[in-house]
Amino acid sequence: MTVVRINAIEVPEGLGATLEERFAARLHAVDQAPGFRGFEMLRPTGEAEKRHFIVTHWATAEDFDNWVNSADFAKGHGHADGAGGAAGGHPGGHPGGHPGGAVGGHPGAGPVATGSAVLEFEVVLESKPT
């Protein structure tokens, strides 16, 4: 079974590219995490949707939890103490402006999002072209 975790990140007008640049800079940082199966970043294209979705696939929920509580996750999400947390609606304590760090809306300068929420799913059916 595969589990899916989606971080729905609320991004103010004009800051989507900054968020995308930050994720691109650390794109393969999670690749070697035990149980990691894949990643997609989805950019909103409709008028009604303003959130970016960070979609990750994992072998188990525990694998995801272990990643969120890892030093590698903390480093990529601006936690200087190397610890996670649970602020901002996303495991790991960051408010959605990750990866990166402090405050201001510029690369490496801080959060570029106003909030986030993690959605949790299990894959029950799947179809892929052969």
CATH architecture of the region 3-122: 2-Layer Sandwich (3.30)
- Render pLDDT for 66-105 as a digit per residue (tens, 0 to 9): 999 999 888 877 654 444 443 333 433 333 444 444 333 3
pTM to 2 decimals? 0.76
Give residue 108's pLDDT. 55
101-127 mean pLDDT = 76
Euclidean distance between CA atoms 83 and 102, whole angstroms: 15
What residues contact residue 8 under an 8 Å CB cut-off, 6+ apart?
51, 52, 53, 116, 117, 118, 119
Give residue 59's pLDDT. 97
Euclidean distance between CA atoms 127 and 111, whole angstroms: 37
Give residue 77's pLDDT. 72
Per-residue pLDDT at 117 exceeds 80: yes
- Render pLDDT for 3-58 as a digit per residue (tens, 0 to 9): 999 999 999 999 999 999 999 999 999 999 999 999 999 999 998 899 999 999 99
57-70 mean pLDDT = 96
Where exactly are the structural domains of the chain? 3-122
